[in-house]
Structure 1
Amino acid sequence: MPGGTAPRWGTAGASDDPCPTPPGATGDGCLVTGRLSVVSPTGAETPLITDWCQQHPSHSVGDLRFGPDGALYASAGDGASLNFADYGQDNLTGSDVTPDNPCGDPPSPVGTALSPPSAEGGALRSQDVRTNGDPAGLDGSLIRINPDTGAAAAGNPGAASPDPNAARVVAHGLRNPFRMAVRPGTSEIWLGEVGWNTVEEINRVVNPTAGVTNFGWPCYEGPGRQGGYDNLDLTLCESLYAAGAAAHTAPYSTQAARPTR
């Protein structure tokens, strides 16, 4: 994760977890980290990756699939709030149960709330692989890895990167890719992506080894700009807009969004 040591749930017992109600997980956050492990037939666990910092109880780790190439694909959401345009400003309740910027997203350390235009936290974690001033996080991404080691699979577009997470990522700019499928007879990866206020998406990665696909969240939702984040004039989004339509991949299919989640 960008901020260094990954937060863990239940480190010193459930009573020490910073998630009391009130204010509740959607108000102040409920800090956890995802883990991808191999479990042996005897039940022994071998962690491969510990990442996916998540502050709110949605948009967590997603789905797993083996590809026809033998690689393991894993998807995950942005770990951000579903209730507001989350760029790393933390809580709206005034509570300090969870520290500001708990994932340590740039440009400020844990304990310092982020602000536009430089903020790279919240949903902007989905664009983290576009920045090179800090280690890449895996929120809002699709990774392609060696299932035995957790390292980037051979042939990944960024396999030569010295950043192990950047080497793993084959797609990003995702909000909540909670379902995934491999189209039989092809290398295509299809992702069911939960939208926010406008559209739901079906996204397609045509060839995971041909290049890193950016689906644009949170700067884009569906075929157009996401108004809540566009209005904040965030540097990560403004630079993506300036790069033109070819800098991100539009959804394969969309439909009107259901209630926010």
Structure 2
Amino acid sequence: MTRPGLVFGLALIVGVVTAVITPSTPATGASSIPPTIAATLYASGLSEPVDIANSGVTGDARLFVVEKQGRIKVVDDGGTVRTIPFLDITDRVVAGSPPVETGLLGLVFHPDYETNGFFYVNYTAPSFLRSRISRFTVTDDPNVADPNSEKIILEQLQPESYHNGGDLAFGPDGLLYIPLGDGGGSGDPNNYAQDLTTLLGKIVRIDVDAEPGIAPDCDGLGTGSYTVPPDNPLVDGRFGACDEIWAIGFRNPWRFSFDRATGDMFIGDVGQNGWEEIDFQPALSTGGENYGWRCYEGNHPYNTTACQSMGAYVFPVTEYGRDGGHCSVIGGYVYRGAMYPAMVGYYLYADFCSSNFWTLTWDGANWVNTSIGTLGLSSPSSFGENVDGEMFVASLNGSVYALSVPGETPTPTPTHTSTPTLTPTPTPTGTPTLTPTPTPTSTPSQTPSATPDPDIFYEYLPLVANEP
């Protein structure tokens, strides 16, 4: 099915890309040879952890771990898991059992959380499956949120119980970014990822601080409570397109992140059955990139019916095949902590099934991708940072691991307080200077692939609770 406005809208997207894809200021890359990286057990006793977040409050050492069934647990400095959940919304989450990919999937704290106590979650709601983005508020107890404080921000109907995305992040611009998958079905049968009249298969960008009240969102359920930034590439719904759209052409962007030093965006997009990919958007982008799915899977033609020339698409900065037991990319973060200087500047990511990890860095001329093994853990489901930028990884088997460089003397970090009191603080002024990383030109395969194989139902972390 191709909806009205699709073809014309894609031409607009392409026009935006040609203007913004090359940043103006190169970033300094890390060494092309990564250090030895280790994973040390930090916290255990969790149930299907699928996301790790921090409050963003200076001095707050806590981690907030999302459990797929509908709870958020507090992990204090040192790794102790609090018994009482920070939030429990199991009564309204559709979690399901494998191979269902629904549940409480993502968490992010408002940039002014210390002042307003707001945080946002991404979960699957019942009654005609939908991805729901909701805001909650912490109580006077900093370790307990109010489950009755829910304010629905946006809902997107989901045709299937998989390829729903799940992540959330505030960008350096203070706006909320929401990656959504193509909604499921082998090979994106409705071509939603290329359809500008739906949010499926897109990254959405909205302003949650300027709420117009209850206004209909693009093709959801009339629950939109946000404002569309005026500089979104399809603002005002030109050609029938959703003006919430920031970028298009994704299959299932399960995890993405911003480099806290440069503002660059890294996106792990789960493939169909051949290729897993890491996509990149430079900080200077004004949006509108088309990352290719379903026309391309990674650098390889998948279903090029009615697709444009290769120059219309932004190809991955790295990809890997499904051989060797790989099945699902888990996007991570660029390490910007202070404890392990040798790790600074490396983007870390993993594969859920093989449990293999990689580093990725820009050496000034090329992207350098290095396999670093399994690090001794299985079923990595998500990466996370603490407030200081130290990096952690969750295993779906119930644990959180801290990443480090063995033999490197850790740089002391500031003294932390695990349970800070939320007090009003002055609103900061000024905008930090961002130094973006250049985007190299990818050369995809020019040979059309064979007829796409049926969807492999064993894709990524919510599918199995134990290592395959």
Give the TM-score of the pair, scaled to structure 2: 0.36
Contact 2:207 2:227 in 1 (8 A): yes
Which residue number corresponds to residue 108 of structure 2? Answer: none
CA separation of 1:161/1:55 partners in 2, compared to 1, >3 Å: closer, same or farther?
closer
Give the distance between the partners of 1:31 and 1:216, measured in 2 at CA. 28
Task: Select the structure with the greater relative contact order (CA < 8 A; seq sep ≥ 6).
Answer: 2
Q: CA deviation at 1:152?
A: 1.8
Divergent runs of 4+, >6 A: none
Matched, 1:50 2:155: yes
CA separation of 1:224/1:57 partners in 2, compared to 1, >3 Å: closer, same or farther?
same
Higher Cα Rg, which structure: 2
| Deviation per residue, 1:58-96 (Å, 9 max, x gap) | 211321011111111111111112xx3351xxxxxxxxx
Choose between structure 1 and 2: higher helix proportion: 1
Matched, 1:246 2:311: yes
Task: Give 2:175's match in structure 1, choosing from 42, 67, 71.
Answer: 71
Contact 1:171 1:205 in 2 (8 A): no
Give the distance between the partners of 1:34 and 1:196, measured in 2 at CA. 21
Give the distance between the partners of 2:135 and 2:252, measured in 1 at CA. 23
Matched, 1:127 2:194: yes
Q: CA deviation at 1:127?
A: 1.0
Matched, 1:141 2:206: no
Give the distance between the partners of 2:159 and 2:276, measured in 1 at CA. 22
Q: CA deviation at 1:187?
A: 3.0
| Unaligned segments of structure 1, at least 5 residues | 4-13, 88-120, 130-135, 231-236
Q: CA deviation at 1:188?
A: 1.7
Give the distance between the partners of 1:213 and 1:144, measured in 2 at CA. 13
CA separation of 1:154/1:86 partners in 2, compared to 1, >3 Å: closer, same or farther?
closer
Task: Show the 5 A alignment for 1:158-173.
Answer: 158-161=234-237, 166-173=242-249
Q: Secondary structure at the match of 2:246?
A: strand
Task: Show the 5 A alignment for 1:138-217.
Answer: 138-148=199-209, 149=211, 150-161=226-237, 166-207=242-283, 209-217=285-293
Task: Give 1:34's match in structure 2, choosing from 131, 134, 158.
Answer: 131
Coordinate RMSD, CA, aligned: 3.1
Contact 1:190 1:202 in 2 (8 A): yes
Q: Secondary structure at the match of 1:238?
A: coil
Task: Show the 5 A alignment for 1:111-126.
Answer: 121=190, 124-126=191-193
Task: Show the 5 A alignment for 1:91-102.
Answer: none
Choose between structure 1 and 2: higher strand proportion: 2
Q: What percentage of residue pairs aligned between the two structures are identical? A: 28
| Unaligned segments of structure 2, at least 5 residues | 4-90, 102-126, 139-145, 212-225, 328-455, 460-468
Give the distance between the partners of 1:223 and 1:209, measured in 2 at CA. 21
Contact 1:215 1:249 in 2 (8 A): yes
Give the distance between the partners of 1:59 and 1:208, measured in 2 at CA. 28
Give the distance between the partners of 2:167 and 2:255, measured in 1 at CA. 6
Give the TM-score of the pair, scaled to structure 1: 0.62
Aligned residues: 185
